[in-house]
Structure 1
Amino acid sequence: MGRWAVRSIAKLGSAGRLLVADIDLARAQQVADEVGGPCVAVRLDATDEAALRAVFSDCDVVLNTMGPFSLFARPILEAAIECGCDYLDIDDDWESTVEAFDYDARAREKGCRVVKGIGGSPGVSNLAAMLAASRLDSVSEIVTGWSMRGAVIEEEAAYPAAAGSAGAAVEHWVIQISGTIRAWRDGAEQDITPLQPVDLEYPGFGPVRAHTVGHPEALTLPRYLDGLTTCLNVTSGPEWLFDHARSVAADYHAGTITLAEGARRVNQPQPPADARGSRNPLGTVWALARGERDGKPMAVSVEPRAMPPGKMGGGTGVALAVGLELLRRGLITRTGVHAPEGVIDPRDFFALYAEFVEPALPAGEDVLLVRELPGAAAPALRGLAGH
């Protein structure tokens, strides 16, 4: 994620000096040499609070792509605020996102602008949800989602993964499908079971199925949209893959395997012989809002027509770079801790995001695909198990 963010920030061209920080200096130097321009490599241990403050004290903005965020979000955010730095990250962990709002008063006191979760999901998904909601007079339900086929790292030969490691993104996934997750049900935060099926009537597709997952959007969107009764984040993919994930999550939750072992197992699914079937039509990242317009039920979906290259790395890193560019242009002004939908105008965001998508869109074509479904029934959420 960090590599793609660095590349995109350099392409946008407004950063005078861009520190590429990693505990592995050679790795950081490799990225700095590849991108060139304003990049300077620096060795930094994210567990060394004094070192964090020493580096941040000479910076304007801290961008955090260091996962898993359950471990590294708090100390990095805390150090950034204490050094008076603005801060953006790609945090997709609901617990650490909720915890970050505890720093709101301190961030305001220090004059810091903090944007939590400006990546693909959360990030693109939140802002798409706000656009969908803006097309309704009242909104009762929002479901944000992402596809498992898009949630993969595109391997780059020049940057081989560490041997035997499934990566922080996969470890995060194991955590967010284990035990219980937090979502918005019946107008309040509730704990629910992850990987439960959710049946949706999606504009243009008809009935589709996705599965609940722990993500920040379900808890941040209700902060900025009044009247929501339901807000969920879901993921889509083949049913056999979710059966496999549930099995691994159950073993991890029971304590019979470590997080690292769970991540390795999740990352090595074995599709059954009869795994072929109809492809889930849901896009890489999307949002669906349901409510009323002119007194009649209406559902609205919003999703990008195209995504940046690099799969999850590109989609996430580009969104972070665009968030930084909006901040540098003075389009993010409010101090304190916010989710993207609280401080970013979706139109500003997607106008810049469109410059990175592939294939490039024809002149005048909107990067977003908007569909409407009059009279849409509510998502089939009644079967969701709460705790």
Structure 2
Amino acid sequence: MTARRVVFIGAAGEMARVAVERFAKADGDWHLVLCDIRPEILQPLVKRLPAGRASVRSLDLYDHRNLLEVIDGAALVVLGAGPYIRTSEPVITACLEAKVPYLDFDDDVESTQHALSLHEKAKEAGIPVYVGCGASPGMSNVLVADAARELDTVENIDLGWLVGDERPNVGRAVLQHLMHIAAGDCLTWENGGPVVHESYVETTTLQMGGGVGEILLYETAHPEPVTLPRRYPGARRIRCVGGLDPAPFNGLARGLGLAIQDGRLTTEEAVDYILDVLDNRFFGNVRALRAMLGGMVAQVRRGESGAGALVKFLVLSALRRRYAWRGGLIARVTGTRDGRPAVAVRRTPVGGSDTYLVASMGTLTGTACAAFMVLALDEAGRHTGAFAPEDWADPEKFYTALERVGTPRHEIVESVR
């Protein structure tokens, strides 16, 4: 088998398709083996790629023998199938056995911790295991590393993400992850050590770029506060905050998340209901409808959003009208420079449907993943072990990789002090 093969597992997903298409824009003659349990869905994607650059394989990632056969001799295996709390372990296990490099865009804390615990096994296998190589985590970690370089000491790190109105184009794995972080334990870093908060409870405001401005975001159970303390152990606080736009979507997520936590809904029932809502159908599951409205009303009562915004959301949804998409990433790092308090900020400067990088959650995550793929192949043979993005991805090299997969330089990052 040729060493010029890149195997992409779960290639039919929305973010994965973006990653594949944009990776193919980079220089190099890598052949992409696109794998999915539904291979027929991949044919339109193959037709959009340069002739001969990709082939399609049917693959059930839980079939260990078949998985080993597919990844044998690959230069890189990329896992795009989620949720990662179920999918990453079998693929990483196979990559360790086959001794082939692994990369994913895992955004779940538990599976990230498991992957990083395999550092010594990956070193013994002589391969890198790169986890969290998407938008958040992923590009967000790189923005932190970039901003922190301006400071002599790091005290507080706030990472922020915002996702806009993507109705109806949202996949099940994305919604399963949203339900996973909308309630329950949130492992974070506070007062110089790990603590557990309740996810989606604590709030802060950050000044996002891309025309968004100052916006309220919620602390969420994401991997960044778990991985970044290894690089910045002296930091007092490291937290990841995020949110959905328009604001009532946050109430929807919180209400359904609490209903799952309380046993009033299963995760699959909640996901099914969100898919109905994204298609502007609200009344299929009365228990879910009550949970959603309860979350939205509680959001208004807490002053996190106004009653007018909620009414507007419900009316526009009933009329099947969407909001203009807004979103992006930000990293705000505080500390000292030359003995004085200082702040360094990195954020995505533009966003919206007319942009390349931040046109949707899919384009942001997929394009970042494609850039990490390029960087991983450039760095072949240099790293062995298990790594989060801040451990191995140099900011300038990553920004250059984003350009190589088609991103205009002016869309990548802006610096704010």
TM-score range, shorter chain: 0.7 to 0.9
Compared CA separation, residues 215 and 295, structure 1 to 2 (3 A): same
CA RMSD of the aligned region, Å? 2.7
- How high is the TM-score relative to the length of structure 1? 0.84
Q: Which amino acid aligns with 1:305?
A: P
SS in 2 for 1:183: strand
Structure number having the greater helix percentage: 2
Which residue among 178, 182, 191 is the counterpart of 1:173?
Answer: 178
Please state how far the C-alpha of 1:332 moved relative to its aligned partner: 7.5
Which stretches in structure 2 are left out of the alignment for 5+ residues? 1-14, 283-308, 315-322, 351-355
Return the offset for 1:176. Answer: 1.4
The equivalent residue for 2:105 is 90
- Residue type of the partner of 1:120? A
> What is the CA–CA distance in structure 2 between the aligned matches of 1:206 and 1:42, rounded to whole Å?
44
Paired with 1:3 and 1:10, the residues of 2 have a C-alpha distance of 11
Q: Please name the residue that 2:392 is paired with.
A: 343
Q: Return the offset for 1:203.
A: 8.9
- Match runs of 1:171-210 below 5 Å: 171-200=176-205, 202=207, 208-210=215-217
1:242 partnered with 2:242: no
| Post-superposition CA distance 1:292-350 (Å, at most 9, x none) | 11222222210122452651222112211211211222378221000011001011001
8 Å Cα contact 1:154-1:311 kept in structure 2: no
Indicate if the aligned counterparts of 1:171 and 1:263 stay in contact, CA closer than 8 A: yes
Q: Deviations over 1:171-220 (max 9, x none)?
A: 11101122111111121221111112422464999964210111111111
Q: Cα–Cα, structure 1 residues 301 and 334, in superposed 2: closer, same or farther, change >3 Å?
A: same
Q: Per the alignment, in what secondary structure is the counterpart of residue 302 of structure 1? A: strand
Amino acid at match of 1:230: R
Corresponding residue number in structure 2 for 1:329: 378
Ranges in structure 1 where 5+ consecutive residues have no aligned partner: 156-160, 373-387
Question: Residues 76-133 of structure 1: CA distance to partner in whole angstroms, max 9, x if unpaired?
Answer: 1111121111011010111110111121111101111111011111111000011111
**Identical residues among aligned pairs (%):** 27
Aligned pairs for 1:10-89 (under 5 A) are 10-35=24-49, 36-89=51-104
Q: For each residue in 1:123-161, what CA deviation from the matched residue of structure 2 results, as whole angstroms up to 9, or x when unmatched?
A: 1100001111111111111111110217x4884xxxxx8
Question: Does the residue aligned with 1:62 lie in a helix, a strand or coil?
Answer: strand
- Give the aligned partner of residue 134 of structure 1: 149
Instruction: Give yes or no for contact 2:208–2:330 (8 Å, CA) kept in 1.
Output: no
Q: 1:197 to 1:89 in 2, by over 3 A?
A: same
Partner of 1:302: 346
Whether the aligned pair in 2 keeps the contact of 1:202 and 1:301 (CA below 8 Å) is no
SS in 1 for 2:345: strand
Query: 1:202-281 to 2 correspondence within 5 Å?
Result: 202=207, 208-236=215-243, 237-267=245-275, 268=277, 272-274=310-312
Correspondence for 2:331: 287
Q: 2:103–2:129: 8 Å Cα contact kept in structure 1?
A: yes
Distance in 2 between residues matched to 1:114 and 1:153, nearest whole Å: 34
CA contact (8 A) 2:182 2:254 kept: yes
